[in-house]
Amino acid sequence: MTVAQDTTSAEEYEALRAAVEEFARTEVAPVIGDLYIREEFPYDITAKMGEMGLFGLPLPEEYGGQGGDYYALCLALEELARVDSSVAITVEAGVGLGAMPIHRFGTDEQKARWLPDLAAGRALGAFGLTEPGGGSDAGGTRTTARLENGEWVINGSKCFITNSGTDITSVVTVTAVTGEKPDGGKEISAILVPAGTPGFTVGGKYSKVGWNCSDTRELFFDDVRVPQSHLLGERGRGYAQFLSILDEGRVAIAALSVGLAQGCVDESVRYAGEREAFGRTIGSYQAIQFTIAEMEARAHTARLAWQHAARLLVAGKPFKKEAAIAKLVASNAAMDNARDATQVFGGYGFMNEYPVGRFYRDAKILEIGEGTSEVQKMLIARHLGLR
């Protein structure tokens, strides 16, 4: 696998990829099926990933991180998702939505307080953006926060928030309307709310189609008070800050999607070489061969897309369009490959005991989360000058 231009970096990336691949195969694969059926959060796996340093891959060493980059994180996410997307999204959200906003926009005091535990996987962070009436219209935030006697008083609710209700969740970054802009628009800011703050209630686990080992909750804020110093970044820049975080997250979700797509190929190749029909393995039939060949082509093409976007990101070059392309192409590949893998497995593909059934359930959200496919097309069109 070609992952970098200079030899040293390529060797380091490959060592990381191989280590995560082995971890996913030996530590995740044997247990994740049962956890998934029971809809249990994988605390033991999460702790082990923390010990490996996966939650700190792109974070500075001074805060307990690995001092790596977003490309390294994406490599790890792809390998995890080849086995299970719930585990992969726990890392992606923990890093991209939990730790990165603090790393990018936090004060030295905020970084020192939150990042060491987040980087080590001892704690998880979450980002409360989406609201029941919002979704893609993130600018339609209704949650409010007003300053009163040196404290932010927050009221409102959020939905579909990953990593927000685990036993190790330590902080949620919340976007809220903190005033009005000169042009009459909403002034949206980001505020850090520690877990357990009075008035901050975490709802029960959603009953989901997929990602059953991922923690996803609704959040409620009833006169929640936090110090004024818990403002994250500049007042009124919360929405803009999140958009920049979302651009990075799209590259990460693209890598995760490629992992699922490749996992479908892996399982289909294995099964096609074992399953017999009409006196020979189904992998010897051209129809099956062509199906799996197209699956591999989708995964390969999508991988090139996320790798290109990630290289631009790491190099500090514009990458918004490329991130949108990667997310669109990769999520489509994941969905298409999950459907085809289920078909290759036939009736067994509909059974929870086989990974492809889990892949099929997990794939659809990749076309929705961190920007729907329609939003990606809109962004790409805008970058082409179409208004």
pLDDT, tens digit (0-9, with 9 covering 90-100), for 20-58: 999 999 999 999 999 999 999 999 999 999 999 999 999
For residue range 109-144, what is the model confidence (pLDDT) as tens digits?
Answer: 999 999 999 999 999 999 999 998 766 566 678 999
What percent of the chain stands above pLDDT 90? 90
- The more confidently predicted of residues 337 and 371 is 337
Residue 293 has pLDDT above 60, yes or no: yes
**Tokens (6 digits) for 338:** 């999950």
Tokens 């990606």 sit on residue: 376
Cα–Cα dist 364/1, whole Å: 27
**pLDDT for res 179:** 94
Q: Are 21 and 77 in contact (CB under 8 A)?
A: no
Helix (H, G, I), strand (E, B) or coil at 171: strand
For residue range 4-21, what is the model confidence (pLDDT) as tens digits?
Answer: 333 338 999 999 999 999
Which residues in 349-379 are b (16+ Cβ under 10 Å) and which e?
beeeebbbbbbbbbbebbbebbbbbebbeeb
Which residues in 128-137 are b (16+ Cβ under 10 Å) and which e?
bbbbeebeee
Give me the active site residues, please: 370
Beta bridge partners of 298: none
The whole-angstrom distance between residue 35's C-alpha and the CA centroid of its chain comes to 19
- The count of C-alpha atoms lying within 13 angstroms of the C-alpha of 131, restricted to the half-sphere facing its C-beta, is 19
- Residue 182 pLDDT grade (very low, low, confident, very high; cuts 50, 70, 90): confident
Cα–Cα dist 141/193, whole Å: 17
Helix (H, G, I), strand (E, B) or coil at 172: strand
Cα–Cα dist 130/376, whole Å: 17
Domains of the chain by start residue, with CATH: 7-124 (1.10.540.10), 126-235 (2.40.110.10), 240-383 (1.20.140.10)
Q: Are 147 and 102 in contact (CB under 8 A)?
A: no
**pLDDT for res 139:** 67
Q: Are 242 and 127 in contact (CB under 8 A)?
A: yes
Q: Are 217 and 206 in contact (CB under 8 A)?
A: yes
- Residue 222 pLDDT grade (very low, low, confident, very high; cuts 50, 70, 90): very high
Beta bridge partners of 359: none
For residue range 240-288, what is the model confidence (pLDDT) as tens digits?
Answer: 898 889 999 999 999 999 999 999 999 999 999 999 999 999 999 999 9
**pLDDT for res 384:** 96
